[in-house]
Amino acid sequence: MFLEKNNNSAGRSGYIEVICGSMFSGKTEELIRRLNRARIAKQKVEIFKPEVDTRYADENVVSHDENKVKCTPVQTAGQILLYDIDADVVGIDEAQFFDMELVSVCNELANRGHRVIVAGLDMDFRGVPFGPMPGLMASAEYVTKVHAICMKCGNLAQFSHRIVPDENLVVLGETESYEPLCRSCYSEAQSE
């Protein structure tokens, strides 16, 4: 169970929560759910996302089922600390697109007493740990791994299989570019 106490006291204790998984697993949906619960509890919330993520909207975090919340797009992780954050809860979406400094930024925010909730892909399309996510998971107090459903067999999926020919690490896309696959179906697709 996640702590959702009111952190308005001078001696508040911060911590990091990471929500990770493949594409279409509900990471952003879970992030928005937690942020909304904090707002219902009258906590101040601030949300950031990487400027590069413009799939749905420039200044909103948007889930695949079109739930959205206003956010601040930033170019680098370090820019987050430039903001005068007067929030109990800091949300960060699409963490895999940030530079490695995100790990120290999140730890700094937690050390300042903020509850930090980070969502991102844990692996890239090659099945390799993605950007700052391994470091975030190692330093977080709570890690939640969510799963999609395999598009081939219906089992739990943890891989984001790219279905368009492009070897660039970052290719923004949705169902036209990616499909979630289980380990077995992903291995089979990689051998084709």
* pLDDT tens sequence for the chain (192 residues): 344 444 433 567 899 999 999 999 999 999 999 999 999 999 999 999 998 865 555 555 655 565 667 888 999 999 999 988 889 999 999 999 999 999 999 999 999 999 999 999 999 999 999 999 999 999 999 999 999 999 999 999 999 999 998 888 887 777 788 999 999 999 999 988
94 is catalytic: yes
SS (H, E, C) 47-103: EEEECCCCCCCCCEEECCCCCEEECEEECCHHHHHHCCCCCCEEEECCHHHCCCCHH
Fold of 15-147: Rossmann fold (3.40.50)
Q: Which of 30, 94, 101, 141 is catalytic?
A: 94
Residue 145 burial (CB count, 10 A): 14
Burial of 172 (0-12, 13-18, 19+ CB in 10 A): exposed
Residues 6+ apart with CB under 8 A from 96: 120, 121, 122, 124, 130, 131, 132, 133
Task: For the chain, give every domain's residue range.
Answer: 15-147
Tokens 């291995």: give the residue: 187
